[in-house]
């Protein structure tokens, strides 16, 4: 048994803590909110973000940074836009030998940095991996089968994460393309917003299938330009995550697109959500990356205009459909 720190007590952080505890690890679950940490310890359930699933006895919640020591593994499960400031709080509390895991999905606004880059800048040269895949918290917490990928430049690091989390109902694969795995997990959220728009407008399965395929082409095009391997986007963190996020009503990003299509403002939608829809800020970052590297991202551009320029969703779909004819 090892001691694992899970930093971030949202739905996914809590789910990962439960999986780790089931695998025999002692888990410290760090919550940003002091009152949430107290509730978790008293009620033995995350009623705020993951109601209905009891916490195993080997999980202890805390709001104190120093309580995570000693740990062999530290999973950062916070939205990417808050990862830098969260990681900075743990300087001095995470020893040099601790393996870091980035379990959030996004691209930092302004810097255009990926989660592993942020952790390296804030916490130094610790061994680090990214965890990604088609992983809906509610389904995994219910015990339904799922698969994920642990990616790192060093195979031993990826194996360490794989070993900590792997179990009968949660299969973890290794991968040595962390750039591609991070980009797949981040960019699919932008496409999921577009998928929500299609569902909200009731445009049908043909339109949605076309969006998914052209979406993965767009993701791959940008990913390869940033140093990822094309084949990574055919895997769990690419097409796998895209299918799940674009098709499930449990997806926050899909919900944003669906509600936009029904006439609600972005501000109103976000104000009513308990957790962050990562695709909303990632749309800004992805658009900037595309322009910086001169990569055509037509779906991302239209999602940006719908979210931030109040473009009519029907008009956005029409412009995608009436672009100049080209080859696949």
Averaged over successive runs of 10 residues, the pLDDT of the chain (328 residues) comes to: 92 98 97 96 97 97 95 96 96 91 96 97 92 97 97 97 97 98 98 97 96 97 98 97 94 96 95 92 97 97 97 94 85
CATH architecture of 185-321: Orthogonal Bundle (1.10)
What is residue 40's predicted lDDT score, i.e. its pLDDT? 98
Q: Which of 49, 110, 66 is nearest to 84 (CA)?
A: 110
Query: Which residues of the chain are in CATH 3.40.50.720 domains?
Result: 3-176
Which token pair is 26?
């002692």
Q: Strands of 170-175's sheet, edge to edge?
A: 59-62, 26-30, 3-7, 73-76, 99-102, 128-132, 146-151, 170-175
Which token pair is 225?
């330009």
**8 Å CB contact between 137 and 126:** no
What is residue 323's predicted lDDT score, i.e. its pLDDT? 87
Q: Which residues are catalytic?
A: 188
Phi, psi of 89 (to 5 degrees): -65, -25
CA 264 to chain centre: 24
What is residue 116's predicted lDDT score, i.e. its pLDDT? 97
- State how beta strands 73-76 and 99-102 pair: parallel
CA dihedral 34, 36, 41, 46 (to 10 degrees): -160
Give the side-chain half-sphere CA count within 13 A for 290. 19
Q: Which of 165, 172, 174 is nearest to 22 (CA)?
A: 165
Question: Helix/strand/coil (H, E, C) string of 268-309?
Answer: HHHHCCCCCCCHHHHHHHHHHHHHHHCCCCHHHHHHHHHHHC
Percent helix, strand and coil across the chain, each to the nearest 5? 55, 15, 35
User: Which residues have C-beta within 8 Å of that of residue 263, sequence separation ≥ 6?
Assistant: none
What is residue 96's predicted lDDT score, i.e. its pLDDT? 86
Query: Which residues of the chain are in CATH 1.10.1040.10 domains?
Result: 185-321
CATH superfamily of 3-176: NAD(P)-binding Rossmann-like Domain (3.40.50.720)
What is residue 1's predicted lDDT score, i.e. its pLDDT? 58
């Amino acid at each position: 048994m090892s001691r694992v720190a899970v930093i971030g007590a949202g739905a996914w952080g809590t789910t990962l803590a439960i999986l780790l505890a089931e695998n025999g690890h002692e888990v410290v679950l760090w919550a940003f909110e002091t009152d949430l940490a107290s509730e978790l310890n008293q009620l033995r359930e995350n009623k705020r973000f993951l109601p209905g699933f009891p916490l195993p006895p080997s999980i202890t919640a805390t709001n104190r940074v120093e309580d995570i020591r000693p740990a062999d593994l530290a999973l950062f499960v916070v939205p990417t836009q808050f990862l830098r400031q969260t990681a900075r709080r743990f300087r001095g509390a995470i020893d040099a030998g601790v393996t870091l895991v980035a379990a959030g999905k996004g691209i930092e606004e302004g810097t255009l940095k990926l989660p592993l880059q942020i952790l390296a800048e804030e916490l130094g040269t610790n061994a680090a991996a990214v965890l990604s895949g088609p992983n809906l918290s509610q389904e995994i917490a219910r015990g339904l089968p799922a698969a994920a990928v642990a990616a790192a430049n060093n195979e031993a690091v990826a194996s360490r994460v794989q070993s900590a989390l792997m179990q009968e109902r949660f299969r973890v694969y290794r991968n040595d393309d962390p750039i591609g795995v991070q980009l797949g997990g981040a960019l699919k959220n932008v496409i999921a917003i577009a998928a929500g728009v299609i569902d909200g407008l009731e445009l049908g399965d043909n339109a949605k299938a076309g969006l998914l395929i052209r979406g993965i082409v767009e993701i791959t095009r940008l990913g390869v330009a940033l140093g990822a391997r094309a084949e990574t986007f055919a895997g769990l963190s690419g097409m796998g995550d895209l299918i799940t996020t674009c098709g499930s009503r449990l997806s926050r990003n899909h919900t944003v697109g669906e509600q936009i299509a029904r006439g609600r403002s972005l501000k109103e939608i976000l104000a009513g959500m308990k957790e962050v829809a990562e695709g909303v800020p990632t749309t800004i970052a992805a658009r900037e990356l595309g322009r910086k590297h001169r990569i055509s991202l037509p779906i991302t551009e239209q999602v940006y205009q719908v979210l931030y320029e109040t473009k009519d969703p029907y008009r956005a779909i029409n412009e995608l459909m009436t672009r100049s004819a080209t080859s696949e």
